[in-house]
Amino acid sequence: MAAIIMDGRSVAARLKETAAQEALALAQNGMMPHLAVVLVGENAASQVYVRNKENACKKAGIRSTVLRLPENCTQAELEDAVRALNEDASVHGILVQLPLPDHLDEAAVLRLIDPDKDVDGFHAMNSGRLMNGQRGFVPCTPLGVMRMLEAYGIPVRGKHAVVIGRSNIVGKPMAMLLLAADATVTICHSKTENLAQIARQADILVAAVGRPRFVTADMVKPGATVIDVGINRVDGAIVGDVDFDGVSEIAGYLTPVPGGVGQMTIAMLLANTLDAARNRGQ
């Protein structure tokens, strides 16, 4: 039986509409929510991501400022820029687009962002809060996956969720969110033995490996929900980490790429920025 394709565009459109209404309500109370994005260098994918974020903010009535720094900027220049945004009371959310050029120390920069403006949820304070079950900013992509599961009424409690990938941006926070929602969680990665056998046990399978069409039909339990977080460029086309054609014959639910999780990520960024603005207003 063919899988139900989870339509990230329409779910995200509803969430963006809610964000727009909330932004309007804040503006009517004299607060203009404001996201500052720091973009270093010329990475082509990053340019596209940042443009999409700017456009989404504009549509939602959220102010966005993009601070562009040259490819050869120094660590000190980048850190000064982040410090200035921390101190700028008009800025509610700060996002440093990753990856940074190789000569820059990413961890040191992320550590510097004010955790209360860290709308990406990458600061150790926010990952610690997530780990401890405390309120804080949660990374947008895994948060978007949880919203997508909710939107389609996919039960999580007591289910076996397998996350393939252990990045700080997706895999680890994804596992924490699923655990917080009472799933039984297994994290797999490039060194996992018998990966296909483990993946086949999943009721919810999240692919965040960064390898095109890595998850094939033989790795999926019939009827499982398969969430594809991958964005890979192959011969000019964007493909996910899941072999869509094969897996769609086996899975119960499946997110497409594009048009799946990617749309949710931006909607969550808007939601986090609004939260940051509201938190400041308190």
120 binds ligand GUN (CB under 6 A): yes
- Which among 123, 125, 120 has a CA at the least distance from the CA of 108? 123
Any contact of residue 98 with ligand GUN (CB under 6 A)? yes
How far, in Å, CA of 80 to CA of 94, rounded? 13
* Residue 97 falls in the annotated catalytic set: yes
Q: Which residue has the tokens 């960064």?
A: 210
In whole angstroms, the minimum distance from the beta carbon of 237 to ligand GUN comes to 19
Neighbours of 258 (CB within 10 A): 14
Binding ligand GUN (rule: CB under 6 A), the pick from 97, 126, 248, 273 is: 97
| Residue 154 binding ligand GUN, by CB under 6 A | no
With CA atoms as reference, report the closest residue to 216 among 140, 164, 145, 156: 164
* Closest CB 241 distance from ligand GUN, rounded Å: 14
Is 208 a binding residue for ligand GUN by CB under 6 A? The answer is no
What are the beta bridge partners of residue 79?
none
Q: Which of 11, 12, 91, 96 binds ligand GUN (CB under 6 A)?
A: 96
Sheet strand arrangement including 34-40: 63-69, 34-40, 93-96
Minimum CB separation of residue 126 from ligand GUN in Å reads 13
Strands 225-228 and 253-254: parallel
Stretch that binds ligand GUN, among 95-103, 128-136, 146-154, 176-184 (CB under 6 A): 95-103
By beta-carbon proximity to ligand GUN, the closer residue of 116 and 120 is 120
- Which residue from 23, 95, 174, 175 is in contact with ligand GUN, where contact means CB under 6 A? 95
Tokens of 40: 């270093």
Residue type, 49: Y
Which residues have a catalytic role annotated?
A: 53, 97, 120
Residues binding ligand GUN (CB under 6 A): 95-98, 120, 140-141, 169
